[in-house]
Amino acid sequence: MSVVEGARNKGKLEVIVKALDLADYTIKITANEKIFDPKFRAAITDDLVAHAKDIYLICWTANNIRVTTDIETYKKRKELQDEAIVKCTVFLGMLDIAKKVFHLETRRVTYWGNKIINCRKLIRAWRNADKKRYDTS
């Protein structure tokens, strides 16, 4: 029996899925040379793709750190979560630049920006859940 989408529990790995979706969307959208002029590839487009990939890979790496009784594993995972949050924030600023340079439609920027904001929100929630679970200070 299927469950209505709104009634489903959020999976623990939803942040990884959303980060992968953001990377996939960014790679595909920036491949459109009619919108993303190749002459700006080195200046902005490559950075957009790199940030999207970094967010996913940092989250994936953090998720693969098995937190044990050793406080260092928790600290390393938290550092990676913090790094991914900063990358999301910088990505939002870069999206503003891209909007201006490529004359992107507001609806596209809003959709893309919401993907970034949702990833950042999920990463923060994950970091906070880890803090409650592992932080002994």
pLDDT beneath 70, residues of the chain: 1-12, 136-137
Single pTM value for the model: 0.89
- HEC string of 37-92 equals CHHHHHHHHHHHHHHHHHHHHHHHHHHCCCCCCCHHHHHHHHHHHHHHHHHHHHHH
pLDDT digits (tens, 9 = 90+) for 116-125: 999 999 999 9
Nearest-angstrom CA–CA distance, 48 and 115: 13
Nearest-angstrom CA–CA distance, 95 and 131: 30
CATH code matching the domain that covers 11-134, chosen among 1.20.1440.60, 3.40.50.2300, 3.90.1150.10, 3.10.20.30:
1.20.1440.60
pLDDT digits (tens, 9 = 90+) for 2-13: 545 554 445 568
